[in-house]
Chains A and B, each alone.
Chain A
C-alpha cells in the first residue's frame, strides 16, 4: 500500500488489521506537512499531537474495540471548523488566538469514526475570497505551480490534499469555496445539499448558503466522508431529518440512462478558456459512450446569480460577523486605559483592526443592503429573484438527473492577478454560486490538465438530496480519465 495514493477505506482497513499502525500513517503525513508547508502555506496550525491520538486508536484496535469507519485516518480541517482545544482562526486576525471549548458537529462525527486532526488549514478570511489571498496568515500556493493561486476560499484544503499532505480534508462552500479550489488543484470536492450536513460549530459566513463537505483524492473517499458527516443535528434546525443514504455502498459507475442537462447560459462562446471548453466536450463524449442522454436546458436566472449571491451573502455576513466585537473572545484593540474609552471607539478600532480589507468590504456592502431605504431594492429583491432561480432549477431537474458544467471559466490564475479588482474576482464565481442559491448538491471532479500544466475539473449538480447521482457520475468519469489522486511533481 502506497500512502501517497491509497484510498481512505484501504488505509483504515490496513490499520484495523494491524498491517500498518495509525501512528505510522499519522507520522508519515505529519512529516510531509512539516516538510512542504513552508512552500505552500496550506496549514495555519499543524497539530503535532495527532500522533498521540493515533497511539490511542492503535491501543483500542489492540483491545479489539470498534474504532469506526475512519479508524486512525489523519485529516486536515479548514480553519472554519471549531475544534475543541485547537485554535480556530477562520483565517482572520480577529480570531488569531481563539481556542473553542467545543467541536463542530461534523468534527465530532469524524472523531467518533476514528478520524484524527492533523492540522487546521489556511483559507480566505471568513471564507470571503476565491483565491486564498485574503487570509491574515498569507496566501496559499498551488502545488501544481507555486506562482498560481490554489483557489478559494478552501485554498489550504485543496493545496494540502493535492500535494497529499493529508489523507483527506474538509472544506466549506458558500458560493463555490469547495468546488473551485478542487478544480484549481485537481482534487475531488463535494458540496452537499443545503441541510444535509450540520453547520453547528462552523464559523458562519452566510447561513443560508454555507455547507461543509469533503475535499479528497478520490470520489470513493468523498462518498465515505460525506456519509460520516451527514445527518440531522438537534443543534442545527436547518438540517434535514431524512435518513442518510449509504453513499459508499450505493456508489456505482453504472450511469446508463442518466439524463444530463447542459445549460445554454453556461456555454457562451468566448467566455471559456479553450481547455476548459474542450474538457466539457470531452466529458460529454465519455458520458454519451456510457449511455447518458444529453438535454440542452435554460435557467435564465443564472445570468444574475452572481448579483443575487453577493447581495444575500454579504447581507447575512454583515450580521453573522457582528459577534466579533472584542468582548467575549478574539482580538481587542489595545487601549492604555479601559476607563477612558468610548464604546463606539472600542468597537470600531477592534473591528477595524481585526478584520482584513475584503471582509470589511463585504460587511459594508451587506450593511448597506439591509439598511432602511435599500432593503427592498437589494436584499429583499435578491431573495425574490433567488426563488425564481430556485424554481427554474426545480423545473430543470424534472427533465434531467444531473447538470454538467465547467467549475470556472479557466484553470487557476496567477497570484496577484485579480486581487486588486474585487468585482472581477466576484464575477469569477459565475458557475458555482447558483448551486448554493438553490441549495443543490454540487461536485468538482478532476478531468484533465491544461496546456499550462494546471488541473481542470468538471462540475456536476443534481436536485436537492441527490448526491448519489453526482457521486456515481463522478465515479464513472474518474474511472474513465484516471485523473484522480495525481500528486504534482515535487511532492
Chain B
C-alpha cells in the first residue's frame, strides 16, 4: 500500500505541493482505492491488446498547410507575466 513517503515522491513527480496532513489523508485514501482496484488482478488478460480509443474511427491525417488563426498578442494575452509577446518565467538554468 502507499506510504506517506511514496505520496511525497508522487507529489513531486506530479508537481503538487501538499501540506503534511493532506499527504497522510491521501496515503490512506489512495491505498483504499488501489486495494479496491485489485479486484482486476484476478482477471486473465494474457495476450489481450490494451484498448485506448473505444470506437472504430477512420484514420485521418491533416494536409500540410500553414495557417495562422490567432495573432501572437492574443496568444499571450492570458499570460500571468510576459515581456512583449514572450512568456516570462523564473530563471531556468
- Which of A157-165, A340-348, A403-411, A483-491 is near enough to bind chain B? A340-348
- Which of A13-21, A30-38, A234-242, A452-460 is near enough to bind chain B? A234-242
Q: Which of B33-62 contact A (CB under 8 A)?
A: 33-34, 36-37, 39-41, 43, 45, 48-58, 60-62
Classify the interface of chain A: helix, strand, loop or mixed. helix
Q: With A and B bound together, what is the CA distance between A367 and B11 in angstroms?
A: 9
Q: Are A355 and B16 in contact (CB under 8 A)?
A: yes
Q: Which residues does chain A contribute within 8 Å of B77, judged by CB atoms?
A: 99, 101
- Which of A54-62, A131-139, A304-312, A469-477 is near enough to bind chain B? A304-312
Q: Are A338 and B53 in contact (CB under 8 A)?
A: no
User: What's the minimum C-beta distance from B41 to chain A, rounded to whole angstroms?
Assistant: 7
Q: Are B90 and A385 in contact (CB under 8 A)?
A: no
> Which residue of B is nearest A233, CB measured?
B60
B22 at the interface (CB under 8 A from A): yes
From A238, A367, A383, B57 is in contact (CB under 8 Å) with A238
Chain B window 68-93, contacts with chain A (Cβ cutoff 8 Å), 1 for yes, 0 for no? 01100011111111000001111110
User: What's the minimum C-beta distance from B92 to chain A, rounded to whole angstroms?
Assistant: 6
- Which of A71-79, A179-187, A289-297, A326-334 is near enough to bind chain B? A326-334
Q: Are B33 and A365 in contact (CB under 8 A)?
A: yes
> Which residue of B is nearest A378, CB measured?
B37
Do A367 and B37 form a contact, CB below 8 Å, given A101-B70, A352-B17, A383-B50?
A: no
From A99, A318, A335, A386, B78 is in contact (CB under 8 Å) with A99
Q: Which residues does chain B contribute within 8 Å of A257, judged by CB atoms?
A: none
Q: With A and B bound together, what is the CA distance between A427 and B32 in angstroms?
A: 12
> Which residue of B is nearest A437, CB measured?
B54
Q: Are A351 and B26 in contact (CB under 8 A)?
A: no
User: What's the minimum C-beta distance from B36 to chain A, rounded to whole angstroms?
Assistant: 6
Inter-chain contact total with CB atoms closer than 8 Å: 185
User: What's the minimum C-beta distance from A9 to chain B, rounded to whole angstroms?
Assistant: 29
Q: With A and B bound together, what is the CA distance between A426 and B48 in angstroms?
A: 26
Q: With A and B bound together, what is the CA distance between A311 and B41 in angstroms?
A: 13
Q: Are B80 and A341 in contact (CB under 8 A)?
A: no
User: What's the minimum C-beta distance from A368 to chain B, rounded to whole angstroms?
Assistant: 5
Q: Are B57 and A240 in contact (CB under 8 A)?
A: yes
Q: With A and B bound together, what is the CA distance between A107 and B11 in angstroms?
A: 35
Given A239-B57, A388-B43, A439-B54: 4 more A-B contacts, CB < 8 Å: A307-B37, A328-B79, A338-B91, A381-B40
> Which B positions have Cβ atoms within 8 angstroms of A?
2, 6-7, 10-18, 22, 26, 29-30, 32-34, 36-37, 39-41, 43, 45, 48-58, 60-62, 69-70, 74-81, 87-92
| 7 closest residue pairs by CB, A with B | A352-B17, A439-B54, A383-B50, A329-B78, A332-B80, A387-B51, A384-B45
Interface CB pairs A-B, < 8 A, 21: A98-B78, A194-B53, A237-B61, A238-B53, A307-B37, A325-B15, A327-B79, A327-B87, A328-B79, A353-B17, A357-B22, A360-B16, A360-B26, A363-B16, A384-B50, A385-B40, A386-B54, A390-B51, A422-B33, A423-B29, A423-B32
